[in-house]
Chain A
Amino acid sequence: MKQMKHSRTFIVTLIMAGIFLLAACSGQAQETAGDTAGTDTVLIITSNPEGAEVFINGEPYDGVTPLTIRGLSPGRYLVEVAKARYRKESRYVEVKPGENMVRFSLAETSLYYLWKIAPLLLLGAVMTLFLTIISVFNGIVIGTFAGMARVVPFRLLNVIAGAYVNFFRGTPLLVQIFMIHFGLPPVLGSLFGDGTPIPLNPFLSALSALSINSGAYVAEIIRAGIQSIDRGQMEAARSLGMSYWQAMRHIILPQAVKRVIPPLGNEFIAMLKDSSLVSVIGMEELVRKAQVIVTRTYRPTETWLGVGLVFLMMTLPFTKIVTELERRLKTSD
């Protein structure tokens, strides 16, 4: 009890001494400032970008960066710069007699940063969309043949198409991209050149890999579409004397097309997302663009969030369209 009382008194004394000392110091500082005013203490505040408002010790200062402040007394100051759409920055500056320089590099606010990189991302998105559209289109052409080849009564065609579909659905798309971009050049070289690998340009590799991959998935969609048509339809057509191909063309395929449209829409959405994998071979689509941006700005959080949003902007409308198509086709079926 006694000891505690003693220690409390000690602390109080210490604090009071501190306050006294501080007051004495600042009094002295003001004095020196008054002494050297207008002589040689200069504080130059610059910022990138320029035009930021300046606050010294929390008080707004008249003028914007780049700003030269004269007549400050040496000492420690809290310098703050603020500019609309940029993050506020503050720093303690030890102002010494003579010329003092402070440089601020302002970071954009997240929103403004996103706004600034949006054009680049959208450019990437256009490439992604372009790649996807061409690939799925090729995929539909390949897949229609492959899908029909799986159902026609020709054993050899069934086997070939089955092998194609199983291979490209059963291996990762990334591996397929590597096989084409890195695996094919030596083969091409020994077949058509002097043995040195013939490099493929990333666009060509990307497009081939995506098209062939998409073709395998579309083939399954087409096969399922054809097989979903009741057997009785083929029997009724054949019993009228139609050939297999006539029945396919006039009876089965027109009905299958309707059922195939919604899953094809889903394939398009899947391909839109999977096409991001071609970034690994340097194809400048949305994801690759983002990687490049991040290495320049060091702002992965907003950049990748932005990429996600751009993908969402593309997939959501298509999802809506597919849902609507499914609804309409169901009612007319």
Chain B
Amino acid sequence: MIKVVNLHKRFNSLHVLKGITTQINPGEVVCIIGPSGSGKSTFLRCLNLLEEPTEGEIFIEGVKITDEKVNINEVRAEMGMVFQRFNLFPHMTALQNITIGPVQVRKLSQEEAEERAYALLDKVGLREKAHEYPDNLSGGQQQRVAIARALSMHPKAMLFDEPTSALDPEMIKEVLDVMKDLAKEGMTMVVVSHEMGFAREVSDRVLFMDDGIIVEEGPPSQIFGNPQNERTKSFLSKVL
């Protein structure tokens, strides 16, 4: 469903991604792990073109999104994105945060969008917070609203950029639980995370990235149980 071929990204002289090639299949949950500065987030952000790749190709369902003729907005609408720092719209209630995308982009009526939004709020367990502003929600609640917001577009895949890194420990579980439910429903997910437990338990495949390349990839049992590469071993020995 997502195919990445020889992806490079440079920020001026900084070479962040040095040729990434991989494929993500429908319904697959892929976790990307690796030390900070390894290019995990940049790779994820390239997938919905928040970062413009310097070189290489990305295909989503056969459509080459790195092509200049492609409508970026349509591509992004199909890819839900969840950010480390939630990035909820502070001037809108939880409900409005979830309806704005469908209403503005999908041209849904306000009623339809709200119906959909309430269903999503039920799913993340926050219906009673529909009319609260983000400032009045805890970090965990904000991130769950942010997940609901991304889901409101009915995306084909969900991208998570360190979704629990900005959360207090006691709130991490509620967010991971929502993500596990999503995985069970068969959502295609790409997750950049430091949550090794989640990666081991939920993911179908783990990519270990270091210094702009995928050093090692494979099922979690292999990556965590029997890593082949020295760098993978040394990283895991530090975080586990």
Contacts and interface: CB of A to CB of B under 8 A. Distances in A.
Interface of A: 230, 232-233, 235-243, 246, 250-251, 254-255, 258, 333
Contact of B89 (A233, A239, A333): A233
B76 interface: yes
Interface of B: 48, 50, 73-74, 76-81, 83, 85, 87-91, 100-101, 104-105, 146, 149-150, 153
Q: Tell which of A233, A238, A240, A242 has the most Cβ of chain B within 10 Å.
A: A240
Contact of A233 (B73, B80, B87): B87
Contacts of A258: 91
A286 B179 CA distance: 67
B76 A241 contact: yes
A238 B77 contact: no
Contacts, number: 62
B83 A238 contact: no
A163 B80 CA distance: 40
Contacts of B76: 238-241
14 contacts: A230-B87, A232-B87, A233-B89, A235-B83, A236-B89, A239-B76, A239-B80, A240-B100, A241-B76, A242-B104, A242-B105, A243-B73, A255-B91, A258-B91
A235 B88 CA distance: 11
A242 B50 contact: no
Nearest to B135: A333
A240 B77 contact: yes
Q: Which 5 residue pairs across A and B have the least CB separation, nearest first? A: A241-B77, A236-B87, A240-B101, A232-B87, A239-B81
Given A236-B81, A241-B78, A241-B153, 12 more contacts: A233-B87, A235-B50, A236-B149, A238-B73, A239-B76, A242-B73, A242-B104, A243-B73, A246-B104, A251-B100, A254-B91, A333-B90
Contacts of A333: 90
Nearest to B90: A255
Contacts of B77: 240-241
Contact of A235 (B78, B87, B90, B105): B87
